[in-house]
Chains A and B, each alone.
Chain A
Amino acid sequence: MKLTYGALDLTASPYLIEFGLDSGAPQNVSEALAFLLQDGEVELSSRASNRTLAFNVLIEGANLLALATAEQNLVAETEKPLNLLTLDPEDSGPPTVYEVFRAQVSLVRDDDWERSRIRRYAVEVRAYPFVRSTQTFTSTGAAPGGTTTTTLDACGSATGWTGTVNGASATVSAVTGPPTTIGVSGTFPLDQKYILTLQKTFAATTTSTNLLVVDWLGTGSILTATGDGVELERFAEGASPTSGYTRTWFRVAAASLAVTRFTLVSAGVPAVRSLQIDNVAVTNASPIVGGNRQQLRSLSVPGSARTQGSLAVQSETSALGDTIVYVYPSDDSTSGYTPSLRQFRGSGNTVTPDTTKVSGSTEPLTGLGVTFNIPIGLFPYGLYLLMGRLATSGGGTPLITYSGKTNIGGLGLTQVGGSTTITTTTAYQNFALGRLILPASDLDPAAASVALMSLTVQASSTCTYDELWLFNTSIGRLIQVNCGTGTAVLGGPARRLFIEPATTRTPRPTVRVGHAADRSDSHYPTGAFPSWQIPEFSPPLVNALVVTSNATDAVITLSGYARWHTHAAS
């Protein structure tokens, strides 16, 4: 084992580490609230406080001067306000790095040891709660592109499919719908974990069409996939064109795909739970919503603890334009959630295709407005910000009114809504239109899978929309920076956006825009930018919706250190 404190090796002469190093533990900061429980409380904790390490360092020297010199070198490291303590097991495990603050060092004096020219120092040091790896990771969302999609199975019959329920073979049923699906189901008691699988052997070539895309339904669950026994990395997830279904993309690293297994894992209230698959395909088209200016990506976050990540949105060819980065957790509550609303358009005015727009189309909001039929089961509970990308020929101050009602079958439930007056121009801009709690009505999880929310947005005078969004600000974080359009130049419209976190070394977070790839010209945006919420990155995945009104080749990248509880695993 090797223990390095800054530049000092505490396991090499004249230093020794006594057995019994206490690495401490992250301290959960929690609040106990009884809510309406008749007994007990719910412990709420959203952060951890620093840990405390304690260990003894032995110093041996030929004489008292040597001892004092060794002490001097030790204290030179421990007195630093911020330092790194690296524990390298020197076997199969990787090194673990603690970010430590100024330490308390105490001499444990012993007369016999003094005569033997040995001194013991007790070191107690506070450290950042979670350890990290020595090297950073980078997760990259691929640039938009690709147009080839090959359907592997439209799921019109169960032929070739096998299924299991909690490991036992189960009947795969075909449903004529619409939609036509195949599926497997089981009944589960309260809080029992259920695992449903569907498997089929395809003969797909994935050298170019290397994204496996599946449309499925299994409300409040997480879907994973394996290809020929290898777990496939999730690439993105959003709402399926099939109403109420989720579309998930998986990246296939191999050149071919044969035995494909989909696994649904969840636990919850007692019910019949099922996994229904509507369509399976392979594609080279990176997930977009409307056009290449609006992307869905899943970014992997290694480690076992939340980490600080640096986000970058970069185009190699164009200024980014009005840029929105919305980061939200990837878990069973967000399965299928996509903030963009045009994909749910039900009725309205004349839609005009326009490939220069974020959504790929424009449509007036006048008259009765535009109504969206939103599969509300895919929208996790929370406070939503309604935003719109709007413009008016000749400018104006239209009153934008929105109202929504959840419908189950023909039954309309509680209505919500609001209005706001905005000042538009001929150029499309992003406007915050209001906040509302969704779902508007409390729904049973079974009802959520079939309920639709009809949201109507209308303008009192001439106003056209490109896209509308419902951003859940209870779970996600929104950053909005106007990077400019036109030719990207040094100091001018920016083709790179960097969102930096607060860290122990740089406690102040920041946002910068720039032109050069080496960040040599990146700077805080001139003037204020519309939205700055600090994003969070918890393993294993986060989702990102990236909107760049000008660039069609933007790539989002997440980088940082993987964080762990006490031992790094990579």
Chain B
Amino acid sequence: MLHPLLTPIGGTATWLAQIGPYGAWGDLEWTTRWGEGACGMYEAQWSMPLPPDFDHPALRSGTLVELMDGPWRIGSPLILAEPARGSGFNQPWQFTATGIGREVEGENSFYAFDAGSNTTSVPSTAIDAAISLQGLRWSGRDASVSTAAVGSSTSTDQLNTIGALLNTSADSLGKRWGVGQDNRVYFYSDPTTPTYNVIPGVASLGVADDDYASVVFVRYLESVSGTYQTASASSPPAITRYGRREYPTDVTSLGAITTATAQGFADGILAKSKARLGWTNGLTLTSNQILTAGGEAADLSKVAEDVAGGCMVRLHGIFNDLLEYNGQTWLDIIIGEAKLTDGEDSISLSPMGLAKRDLASIVEEVSGVGDVAA
């Protein structure tokens, strides 16, 4: 059973069992994600039976929340939103905390400045300034974080969130970014080998072509000639099987960039999210249905924790997702989201590339973080 630890801004850490007349909480559900935007600990929710007029300094917006398994924090910290107060013990208070990596996403977040308060297009510069000058509560950055400017200049004309800067930089490198268990930001590569195995007969995935594209075009302003040019990347096997479909990306807002940089964008976007069919459904598994590499039943909290850092799962008994029999009796998928209710014996896993078919997911996609503007 996880025990949340809360640290209010400027205050001392308090175990959740020490808060309130009962020190009790319930329905603790937490989600980790891997994919577009901040990877890692995504969200946690729980409820507490508290009097309507109760007050505690730790139960306020901005409090740092850590989900603890003994002395071990699961994933990165989270930031608490203002709780929804209940009207009585039959209607408990509801709490929602978002992963600390998401602090730099969205309009009211952290913007990319350098130490002199000028705009910057260098991810490492923006992160260092945000931590030291702007109060971003990350512990630091890994050496994998790019130290190169996004675009032709190290500064930008417009304001950009740090999240948008990291998204664009990661796209150009074919990588992803997120805040890890040590509260440091990393640039990651997608996993290539499976960590877990799902027993045959329990997984069934439907395919979707909502986001399918076999060719990615990137329109850019070439830095040597000063002319607008187009870079492209394509997947001949996907074209052969599903036909040609083209996906455009306009990065002219970055200013003049090199051909190599533009090609990196095209290759990265194609590799991370195109040239394959998506999925229509996720999986709900118990610990006996998902095994470690050694054949032991997986611990579901460990599975969710591993998803935060990139986790590939091998589904046995399913043919390759390109709908062709090639002798392979398994399918490797990267998990895009893991959702777990503390204490329950099943976990919800969504593969990366899950087609957004419900209203909440569509709204989330439409109101996304956008990209860097020069």
Contact = CB atoms under 8 A, between A and B. Distances in A.
Interface string A90-118: 00000000000000000000000000000
A498 to B, nearest CB: 14
Contact of A381 (B71, B182, B297): B297
Contact of A435 (B3, B23, B69, B297): B69
Nearest to A431: B71
A382 B23 CA distance: 27
Contacts of B22: 507-508
B357 to A, nearest CB: 27
Interface string A519-561: 0000010011011111000000000000000000000000000
A510 B182 contact: no
Main secondary structure of the interface of B (DSSP, over half): loop
A441 interface: yes
Given A442-B294, A528-B15, A532-B17, A385 B5 contact: no
Given A36-B202, A524-B18, A382 B289 contact: no
Contacts of B292: 414, 416, 437, 440
Contacts of A509: 17, 23
Contacts of B15: 528, 532
Contact of A531 (B23, B68, B297, B346): B68
Given A414-B293, A421-B182, A508-B22, A385 B302 contact: no
A507 B182 CA distance: 34
B255 interface: no
A222 interface: no
Contact of A533 (B1, B21, B288, B346): B1
A35 B296 contact: no
A474 interface: yes
B1 A534 contact: yes
Interface residues of A, number: 43
Given A33-B286, A33-B345, A385 B296 contact: no
B225 interface: no
Contacts of A406: 294
A305 B296 CA distance: 30
A175 interface: no
A413 B297 CA distance: 16
B289 A437 contact: no
Contacts of A524: 18
Interface string B48-80: 000000000000000000001111100000000
A35 B18 contact: no
B71 A528 contact: no
B301 interface: yes
B72 A385 contact: yes
Contacts of B69: 383, 385, 435, 473
A387 interface: yes
B296 A36 contact: no
A547 to B, nearest CB: 13
Nearest to A528: B13
B299 A507 contact: no
B294 A387 contact: no
A177 B72 CA distance: 42
B18 A510 contact: yes
A440 B182 CA distance: 24
A36 B288 contact: yes
A478 interface: yes
Interface string A416-436: 100011000000001010110
Interface in B285-324: 286, 288-289, 291-299, 301-302, 305
A504 to B, nearest CB: 11
A531 B70 contact: yes
A508 B20 contact: yes
B326 interface: no
A183 to B, nearest CB: 30
A44 interface: yes
A480 interface: yes
B89 to A, nearest CB: 12
B205 interface: no
A471 interface: yes
Interface in A180-223: none
B71 A35 contact: no
B297 A480 contact: no
Given A421-B182, A508-B23, A528-B12, A478 B71 contact: yes
Contacts of B84: none
A507 B346 CA distance: 28
A351 to B, nearest CB: 26
B199 interface: yes
A507 B23 CA distance: 7
B24 interface: yes
Contacts of A473: 69-70
A442 B18 CA distance: 39
Interface string A464-476: 0000000101100
B182 A413 contact: no
B70 A471 contact: yes
B296 A441 contact: yes
Contacts of A442: 291, 294-296
Contacts of A534: 1, 17
Contacts of A480: 70-71
Q: Considering the complex of A and B, which 3 residue pairs feature the smallest CB-CB distances, nearest first?
A: A508-B23, A528-B13, A414-B294
Given A36-B202, A508-B21, A510-B18, 14 more contacts: A31-B345, A383-B69, A414-B294, A416-B293, A435-B302, A437-B292, A507-B22, A507-B24, A508-B22, A527-B13, A528-B7, A531-B71, A532-B3, A534-B1
17 contacts: A36-B201, A36-B289, A381-B297, A385-B71, A414-B292, A414-B293, A414-B294, A416-B293, A435-B302, A439-B294, A440-B296, A478-B71, A480-B70, A509-B23, A510-B18, A528-B5, A533-B70
Interface of B: 1, 3, 5, 7, 12-15, 17-18, 20-24, 68-72, 181-182, 199, 201-202, 286, 288-289, 291-299, 301-302, 305, 345-346
